Structure 1
């Protein structure tokens, strides 16, 4: 298994550096108790600056995955503390794990939203769908994805469960880069507008069963698109 890291090219350099180091730890490439590459080596392999590497190491130390030994180097902890931030744990999860957990969250989120939504929630969701359509018409793929995530976040907020909404937002932070790539490659699929309009109608009508059907259809369609992209 290769030990080298891959250069990153993104405005979110710190997150991608953290993700790569976490993946090496998770796969055992950077084994418990072992010393990770030196700061200059990480800078060269990742193609980033010293400050980015230091910030990534600082975050992973705070997460209980690494330990800095002054004058010696940085080591993978033998027994991780279990304080790894959820966002970073999600970023190194397998695609199938993400899909399974998201499915569980999505079903209960839309069910609760249909039961608990307020007039303000409905207005926010409608505005998000309008922004999605405007971004689509303007050919703004990133704006489309941003509005799409805002819509799903608004649905989570409408559930009335603050903890559930926070968990969903953590998932959305991971989805953003993936959806940007998917939309850029495959374009905006017309079924999305039909499904999300149907989902909003079900929530407005306080119809949890219909809301769940639309949510599951949206996830299945996205999964199919992702698999088609991966197969290319």
Structure 2
């Protein structure tokens, strides 16, 4: 373990132990380094790394603080990492969504209120009205799913689903440009989810969400295999990846 890694581990341990709770200010760099028995250079690098990881935040002219450490903060950079995924890894991403989204929809069915159902209905109306505009259609598609996730009241689940939505949203946009019937099918699938949620039918809500995500997964698998112009790129090693 390098000295910087050691400094990171020790700061994290202070946070886990409650010595540096969320929102607290770190001691001055010299003091903290002395308390942990490390020199200032690795301590400075450790702080920089923890700032990038959103564990710490620097407030100019005020000092360095522990963040709120909420899922939205700590997992908020997931989308940027997910954007780097290519090729068959995209199928793994959809598989992950297939595990999470039906569970989220199931939980939402037990907790959703009338105001949220009305919001989902508005997104459905917007999707119907924008069938011929893939970008607008998919913006409301994504908003529909964010609203369902938010109805769970589970911030960690919301953040994870939002983290993978950016990449899958781009997949849905691409799907809308190559498959003329995709919008109609997507509307029907979202209507089924909305009906199940409105009925507070937990098993049906899970099944409707599973069918919807499985449709996307099946399309992506076919898309990866199909060597159409503009749909596929090849790496130097000959491995196909989707260019979305």
TM-score range, shorter chain: 0.5 to 0.7
Q: Structure 1 stretches (4+) deviating beyond 4 angstroms?
A: none
TM-score (norm 2): 0.58
Decide whether aligned partners of structure 1 residues 146 and 84 sit closer, same or farther in structure 2, where only a CA change above 3 A counts: closer
Pairwise CA distance, 1:84: 9.8
Q: 1:130 aligns with which of 125, 128, 142?
A: 125
Unpaired runs of 5+ residues, structure 2, are 1-48, 54-74, 228-244
The count of aligned residue pairs is: 155
Match of 1:146 in 2: 139
2:94/2:168 contact within 8 Å kept? no
* Counterpart pick for 1:227 among 208, 212, 221: 221
Cα deviation, 1:181-207, whole Å, max 9, x if unaligned, reads: 111111342222222111111111111
Distance of 1:210 and 1:84 partners within structure 2 = 31
1:123 offset after TM fit, Å? 0.7
CA displacement, residues 50-89 of structure 1 (integer Å, 9 cap, x when unaligned)? xxxxxxxxx9x946xxxxxxxxxxxxxxxxxxx9931233
In 2, the alpha carbon distance for the partners of 1:103 and 1:114 equals 17
Alignment of 1:73-152 (within 5 A): 85-93=77-85, 94-136=89-131, 139-152=132-145
Q: CA RMSD in A?
A: 2.6
Q: How far off is 1:124 after superposition?
A: 0.7
SS in 1 for 2:130: helix
Aligned counterpart in structure 1 of residue 180 of structure 2, from 179, 187, 192:
187
Query: CA separation in 2, counterparts of 1:151 and 1:124?
Result: 8
Relative contact order (C-alpha < 8 Å, sep 6+): which is higher? 2
CA–CA distance in structure 2, aligned partners of residues 130 and 124 of structure 1:
10
Please list every run of 5 or more consecutive structure 1 residues that lacks an aligned counterpart in the other structure.
1-58, 64-82
* TM-score normalised per structure 1: 0.60
Alignment equivalent of 1:159, drawn from 146, 149, 152: 152
Cα distance in 2 for partners of 1:108, 1:177 equals 23
C-alpha offsets along residues 100-138 of structure 1, whole Å, 9 cap, x if unaligned? Answer: 2211211211011100001111011000000000001xx
Bigger-Rg structure (1/2): 2
